[in-house]
Amino acid sequence: MNDLAVIGGGPGGYIAAIRARQLGMKVCLVEKDALGGTCLNRGCIPTKAYYQNAVVLKTLARLSEYSVKADNISFDLAGAHERKDRVVVGLATGIRDLLKAYRVEVVQGEASIAAPGLLNVSGQEIKTKGILVATGSEPSLPAIPGTDVPGVITSDDMLELTAPPKRLVIIGGGVIGIEFACIFNTFGSKVTVIEYQPDLLGNLDKEIARRMGLFLRKQKIEVQTQTSVERIEKQGDTLRVTARDKRDSLAYEAEIVLLATGRKPYTQGLGLENLGVAFDRGFVKVDANYETNVPGIFAIGDAIRGPMLAHVASEEGIVTVERMTGRDNAVQYDAVPSCVFSFPEIATVGLSQEEAQIRGMVFKTGKFPFAANGKAVAMGETDGLVKVIADDQDQIVGVHIIGPHASDLVQEGSVIVRNHLAISDVANTIHPHPTLGEALLEAALDAGGQALHLQPRR
């Protein structure tokens, strides 16, 4: 008899299994595909491998700025594809070894829940006290005529291309769409992004999102917001995308059309509906313990409503098993960092300016441009800024970064927001010079009207 059976070996499931073992539980983990889930196999890690290729290419394109000369530079996406696969396999092997070291029984197969406490995995019965659903998500396809035409693909398929398309249309201006736009633009594709909403990256602070739009256009990526796609048609070797903005009908031609219109929970085949598990618009409903309305069945990650982020799923997995064993822990959803691996990078944590306004907060903002940061200038990476939001008690409630190494800089922002630190806490912390992190210090100082490397406010 297991104490816990985890369905899904992604960042939510395998982390929950490991933490459960640390707490003394007997655990089995069921995975029908590959350990690591979407994040490792078809999401975060493969795209970051390609992103690194793009980083190198962008650096090579600017060699003259650094007084470096090189000839006969070329790029082979097929080779990058092979490298991406090696990265994925290596990390998947590491997860498998970790689970083995923690003595988590890994069962390969497709699971269904026959009853609370009873799993059926490809004909094998597994008895357990608790069941944790960590099955993740899958691409959500829009209701547009022509999405089944050859050449219209999802992000899963995009990662299997071995040559960049000459022309790429991306439907959806969220994180997935913008990351692929930047990567494949650098690989040599002519990229158009079509977004139905008024703004790209709709969950971000609007100032940051607007600046991203400007930076995309600066890279010659065409961006169409407030534009609806009406149909996709095959015309010879070309795809024709017909769309409409507020004024006109538009048409784009492409070799590949990427559907980047979000993701939806993947819970098919588990038998949850037959057991009476409650859903909320496709998401499994859970309480503060991440337990469903059916006792003994829990759910985390993309299967439930909330940020669809790997690190959130991991944290929810940890909190779930800790609460199973009587520990008082909770996910700090107001301090969830989020990163966009674009050019430049974006990273945020805490409240946006718009969220602060909706909550009726009295707040102040501080900003510092990377163009005034010595390290950024030396790097030749001056696009972007750091923006800090503080309440009327000078507590920092949001940190928003667009610029070089934003995904690394936001770690400090996460600590600040999570621990309810004040402007003075940051101001009185010595930041080494010359570093990009000084931009966060200066933004915090600016929120208090004391920035040292900006001209005084008038």
From 311, 400, 433, 453, active-site residue: 433
10 and 301 Cβ atoms separated by less than 8 Å: yes
Number of H helices, E strands in the chain: 13, 24
Q: Which of 420, 413, 418 is nearest to 443 (CA)?
A: 413
Place of tokens 């994925």: 88
Rounded to an integer, what distance in angstroms lies between the CA atom of residue 117 and that of residue 126? 8
Contacts of 149 (CB under 8 A, 6+ apart): 232, 233, 234, 239
Task: Bin 440: left if φ > 0, else alpha if -120 < ψ < 50, else beta.
Answer: alpha
Half-sphere exposure of 242 (CA within 13 A, CB side): 10
Q: Cα(285)–Cα(277) distance, rounded to whole angstroms?
A: 8
Region for residue 278 given its phi and psi (left: phi exceeds 0; alpha: psi -120 to 50; beta: otherwise)? beta
User: Can you spell out the DSSP letters for 211-256?
Assistant: HHHHHHHHTT-EEE-S-EEEEEEEETTEEEEEEE-SS-EEEEEESE
d(CA 168, CA 63): 27
Q: How far is CA 360 from CA 332, 364, 392, in A?
A: 21, 13, 12
Sequential DSSP letters for 53-113 = HHHHHHHHTTGGGGT----S----HHHHHHHHHHHHHHHHHHHHHHHHHTTPEEEES-EEE
Residue 408, H or E segment: helix 406-418
Known active-site residue 420:
no
Diameter of the chain measured on Cα atoms: 73
Cβ contacts of 109 within 8 Å, gap of 6 or more: 30, 32, 121, 122, 124
Residues annotated as part of the active site: 433
